[in-house]
């Protein structure tokens, strides 16, 4: 009987398996129903930023940034981490909230600042900045989410973890393990219902377009998250491409069966993204879409994950609500401690306690302009 069974081979399950082995837990098996990274993880835009409203989440994201930037040395694999810098825009009316979140970040050691008037042009002069306040995080960037997940899984395998692909778990009790960790993204609620725990997660489809910038655009812009009415973000990629998506929490009102998520984005979505992009970055006019995709967010009522025990010998790490990629190294380290020692000493996970939903004790976000953690 394995000491620990991990269900799910997305970035969370792979990181948890790796960290369990690194923590000296020597009989670990990871079950992934398809291939490693075959769920939403590999479709993530995988932006790694520290701009959050909760100090705990800033610390967890900072851990991720450190690990991804040194992945070859720490994990022995390639993360594809590419530093782009991040501009966070909010309406002028939300300047105080933006400033508060910058202060939360700085309090946790993040390199970030509220930009004084005139400073934006030094970073990105092509943005239509009227009516917006900006914060800048120069160390932010993005990863290749598949490479990170495969890298964690391969390092776990080298350390003795059994990685079982093509291994769908139907019944948790049939796993016959001392401890089961369920990290099955939007498929988690159905599994945890077997042990009487109700995880309130919605599977919300989200769409991403690949926009080819026009000739003559010049150097790529930084990553931008615009929390004004546009609710738009874009990430610069090689070959003059921006990956463009929405920050609008409203899109999570629409739910799908996670096994039936469409592959691409709709024409209407791309048209709306295109209009918003050109109004924010007028120099992008004249570009064109070069494809799109869709994938599912596993959204909890407060847009924060559930990490902790839900039944005797059963731990959950799910509900990452569209912003979990960057947290995976910290989640792996914390869950390995939960398994080995019964509690995490690296992070006080009380805020993310799975029992909070039943208690009605949701995480409050002080963002003002967003719900994303
Ligand atoms: C389009 C998009 C953009 C995003 N952008 C960002 C971003 O910029 N920054 C950021 O930090 N985060 C981002 N995220 C969120 C981030 O990617 C996710 O929070 C993270 O990948 C979740 O990982 P996971 O391992 O929990 O879940 P998943 O990737 O859902 O993995 C769960 C795995 O469990 C497997 N599984 C399910 N049921 C079973 C079963 N019964 N038995 C065995 N295996 C099972 C599935 O096949 C799947 O591989 C984005 C997400 C999306 C979809």
Boundary of a domain, candidates 276, 298, 320: 298
pLDDT tens by residue, 115-171: 998 999 999 999 999 999 999 999 999 999 999 999 999 999 999 999 999 999 999
Cα of 11 from ligand 1 centre, angstroms:
7
Instruction: Report CA-CA distances (Å) from 36 to 9, 18, 58, 147.
Output: 5, 13, 27, 10
Residues 128 and 169 in one domain: no
Cα of 15 from ligand 1 centre, angstroms:
12
Can you give the CATH number for the domain in which 31 is found? 3.50.50.60
Boundary of a domain, candidates 247, 276, 298: 298
Residues 127 and 177 in one domain: no
Structure tokens at 234: 């874009």
When divided into structural domains, the chain yields a total of 2
Residue indicated by tokens 């947290």: 327
Q: Is residue 282 part of a domain?
A: yes
pLDDT band at 102 (very low <50, low <70, confident <90, very high): very high
Can you give the CATH number for the domain in which 210 is found? 3.30.9.10
Residues 222 and 121 in one domain: yes
Q: Is residue 371 part of a domain?
A: no
Indicate the top mutation candidate among 36, 41, 166, 256 to test ligand 1's pocket, ranked by most ligand atoms within 8 A of CB. 41
What does the pLDDT average to over 318-338?
98
Residues 287 and 353 in one domain: no
Cα of 198 from ligand 1 centre, angstroms:
19
**324 C-beta closer than 6 A to ligand 1:** yes
What does the pLDDT average to over 251-280?
95
Residues 224 and 343 in one domain: no
**30 C-beta closer than 6 A to ligand 1:** no
Mean pLDDT of the chain: 96
What does the pLDDT average to over 71-82?
98
Q: Is residue 50 part of a domain?
A: yes
**261 C-beta closer than 6 A to ligand 1:** no
CA-327 nearest atom, ligand 1: 11
Residues 286 and 321 in one domain: no
**185 C-beta closer than 6 A to ligand 1:** yes
Atom 41 (ligand 1) nearest CA = 169
Q: Is residue 65 part of a domain?
A: yes
Tell me what pLDDT residue 177 has. 96
**188 C-beta closer than 6 A to ligand 1:** no
Residues 136 and 221 in one domain: yes
Q: Is residue 306 part of a domain?
A: yes
Residues 120 and 235 in one domain: yes
pLDDT tens by residue, 300-310: 999 999 999 99
CA-296 nearest atom, ligand 1: 53
Q: Is residue 10 part of a domain?
A: yes
**112 C-beta closer than 6 A to ligand 1:** no
Tell me what pLDDT residue 252 has. 83
What does the pLDDT average to over 202-221?
97
Q: Is residue 258 pLDDT above 80, yes or no?
A: yes
Q: Is residue 364 part of a domain?
A: no
Q: Is residue 78 pLDDT above 60, yes or no?
A: yes
What does the pLDDT average to over 259-274?
96
Collect all residues with Cβ–Cβ distance below 8 Å to 34 and sequence separation of at least 6.
9, 165, 166
| Run of H or E including 329 | helix 328-341
| pTM of structure | 0.98
pLDDT band at 111 (very low <50, low <70, confident <90, very high): very high
Residues 282 and 207 in one domain: yes
Residues 279 and 311 in one domain: no
Tell me what pLDDT residue 250 has. 87
Q: Is residue 345 pLDDT above 70, yes or no?
A: yes
What does the pLDDT average to over 10-25?
98
Residues 237 and 335 in one domain: no
Boundary of a domain, candidates 273, 298, 323: 298
Q: Which domain holds residue 92?
A: 83-142+202-298
Q: Is residue 365 part of a domain?
A: no
Tell me what pLDDT residue 176 has. 86
pLDDT tens by residue, 157-197: 999 999 999 999 999 999 989 999 999 999 999 999 999 99
Residues 208 and 59 in one domain: no
Tell me what pLDDT residue 257 has. 96
pLDDT band at 327 (very low <50, low <70, confident <90, very high): very high
């Amino acid at each position: 009987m394995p000491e620990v069974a991990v269900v799910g081979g997305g970035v969370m399950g792979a990181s948890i398996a790796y960290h369990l082995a690194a923590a000296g837990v020597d009989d670990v098996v990871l079950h992934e129903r398809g291939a490693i990274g075959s769920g939403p993880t590999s479709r993530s835009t995988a932006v790694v930023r520290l701009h959050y409203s909760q100090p705990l989440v800033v610390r967890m994201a900072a851990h991720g940034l450190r690990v991804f930037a040194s992945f070859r040395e720490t994990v022995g694999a390639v993360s594809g981490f590419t530093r782009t810098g991040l501009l966070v825009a909010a309406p002028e009316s939300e300047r105080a909230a933006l400033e508060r979140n910058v202060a939360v970040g700085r309090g946790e050691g993040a390199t970030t600042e509220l930009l004084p008037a005139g400073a934006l042009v030094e970073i990105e002069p092509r943005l239509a900045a009227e009516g917006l306040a900006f914060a800048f995080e120069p160390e932010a960037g993005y990863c290749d989410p598949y490479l990170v997940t495969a890298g964690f899984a391969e390092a776990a395998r080298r350390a003795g973890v059994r990685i079982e692909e093509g291994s769908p778990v139907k019944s948790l009790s049939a796993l016959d393990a001392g401890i089961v960790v369920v990290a099955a993204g939007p498929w988690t609620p159905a599994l945890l219902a077997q042990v009487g725990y109700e995880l309130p997660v919605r599977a919300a489809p989200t769409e991403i377009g690949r926009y080819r910038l026009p000739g003559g655009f010049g150097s790529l812009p930084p990553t931008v998250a615009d929390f004004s009415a546009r609710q738009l973000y874009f990430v610069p990629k090689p070959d003059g491409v921006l990956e463009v998506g929405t920050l609008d929490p409203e899109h999570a009102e629409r739910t799908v069966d996670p096994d039936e998520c469409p592959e691409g984005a709709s024409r209407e979505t791309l048209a709306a993204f295109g209009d918003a992009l050109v109004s924010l970055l007028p120099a992008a006019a004249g570009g064109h879409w070069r494809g799109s995709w869709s994938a599912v967010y596993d959204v909890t009522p407060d847009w924060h994950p559930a990490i902790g025990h839900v039944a005797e010998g059963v731990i959950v790490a799910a509900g990452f609500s569209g912003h979990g990629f960057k947290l995976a190294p910290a989640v792996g380290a914390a869950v390995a401690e939960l398994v080995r020692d019964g509690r995490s000493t690296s992070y006080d996970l009380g805020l993310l306690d799975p029992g909070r939903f039943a208690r009605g004790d949701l995480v409050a976000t002080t963002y003002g302009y967003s719900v994303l953690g």
